[in-house]
Amino acid sequence: MTVATMGKHASLPEVGSRYQDARLYPHGVAFMDGQYLPMSEAKISVLDWGFLHSDATYDTVHVWEGRFFRLNLHLDRFFKGMEHLRMKLPYGREEIQQILSNCVALSGHKSSYVEMICTRGGSPTFSRDPREAENRFIAFAVPFGSVANKEQLERGLHVAVSETVRIPPKSVDPTIKNYHWLDLVKGLFDAYDFGAETALITDTNGNIAEGPGFNVFAVKDGKLKTPAFGVLPGITRQTVFDLCKEIGLSAVAEDLGRQELALSDEAFITSTAGGIMPVTRVNGSQIGDGRVGSVTAQLTELYWKKHADPAWSTAVVYP
């Protein structure tokens, strides 16, 4: 079932009253090939280089209580990624913002996980020359999900540091969101084998890097530190810096050693999928007193308050 269709250079389809029944799309809505459709019908060709070679970039923003959080920063990073990878789309920034909003509005979800993707696409002649591929845009909105569940948010996550090394930034630029996750997936299995709930992996110098879809912060004597080398500068990570500046806390991006993390007073991870999430155990040992720390709690409370602030968020127009 198709919701609406459009040509590549046509005006965007309207979200009309005909599509107000969110029950039509209980699991979310996707946009691809000029049309909105249920997530179950969103498919790409096996010949798309995004599938064959992980040749794609993407960005993810969330909607909370009917408002996008820091959408402009996510759009900035998405367009930067496309430019870096020499990709082009027939849609401009305002059109993509409207498509994302339409996906959320059609889904009817007030809290959503919203993704925008540009794949290299495929070549009609199956050429191996990426210049001959037609880049493809995909977007979708699904119900909001978090890296940590309710119990983990209350008592803190249990994390293990894997011996797996993050892909060197000279090979794959980590500042451009990508689907090269095999190192992160290996780290996850290492963490599960250890009995932990998620993983951190190291950079090429042996320092802490990041986890699967999240950055990490350590707090010592009221001062915050997050890894700087070989990591994605996450939007939630940036938000922590902005919040710290607002309330007068020190926060820096520098090398973070394993022992430094282990001896921190508090630790937390940051992701669009969950926000600020406490960590209370690393490699089986407790961080600080083993409870969610006061700095983490203060930042978490302020973070969620900002979701209703028009300076930090953008309203979705529901039909």
Asked if residue 120 lies in contact with residue 127, where contact means CB atoms within 8 angstroms, the answer is: no
Say how far apart CA 75 and CA 60 lie, in whole Å.
Answer: 9
Q: What backbone phi and psi angles, to 5 degrees, belong to 271?
A: -160, 150
What band does 127 get if pLDDT is binned at 50, 70 and 90?
Answer: confident
Q: What is the mean pLDDT of residues 28-49?
A: 94
Average pLDDT over residues 269-295: 97
> How much is the pLDDT for 282?
98
Give per-residue pLDDT as tens, 62-75.
Answer: 999 999 999 999 99
The whole-number pLDDT of residue 15 equals 45
Task: Report the pLDDT value the prediction gives residue 104, as an integer from 0 to 100.
Answer: 96
Whether CATH 3.20.10.10 fits 150-307: yes
pLDDT score, position 24:
55
Domains 4-143 and 150-307 agree in fold: no
**Domain boundaries, given as residue ranges, for the chain:** 4-143, 150-307
Check: CB of residue 27 under 8 Å from CB of residue 56: no
- Interval 253-280 mean pLDDT: 98
pLDDT at 9 over 90: no
Q: What's the pLDDT score for residue 236? A: 98
Q: In whole angstroms, what is the distance from residue 176 CA to residue 270 CA? A: 17
Q: According to DSSP H, which parts of 21-92 are helical?
A: 49-52, 71-84
Could you give the CA distance from residue 119 to residue 87 in angstroms, rounded to a whole number?
Answer: 8
Q: Could you write out the three-class secondary structure of 235-275? A: HHHHHHHHHHHHHCCCEEECCCCHHHHHCCCEEEEEECCCE
Split at pLDDT 50, 70, 90, the class of 4 is very low
Model confidence, pTM: 0.91
From CA 26, how far away is CA 112, in angstroms rounded? 12
pLDDT of 146 reads: 94
CATH number of the domain located at residue range(s) 4-143 in this protein:
3.30.470.10
Q: With 70 as the cut, is the pLDDT of residue 148 above it? A: yes
- pLDDT tens for 153-200 read 999 999 999 999 999 999 999 999 999 999 999 999 999 999 999 999
How many percent of the chain have pLDDT more than 70? 92
Q: What is the pLDDT of residue 138?
A: 98
Q: Categorize the per-residue pLDDT at 150 as very low, low, confident or very high, splitting at 50, 70 and 90.
A: very high
Q: At what angle do helices 71-84 and 93-107 cross, to 10 degrees?
A: 130
The confidence band for 267, taking pLDDT boundaries of 50, 70 and 90, is: very high
Average pLDDT over residues 79-102: 97
Q: Pull the structure tokens for residue 292.
A: 């969610």
Average pLDDT, whole number, for the chain?
A: 92
- The pLDDT of residue 124: 86
pLDDT at 1 over 70: no
Structure tokens belonging to residue 110: 């007030």
What is the per-residue pLDDT across 13-32, written as a single tens digit (0 to 9) for each? 454 433 345 455 668 999 99
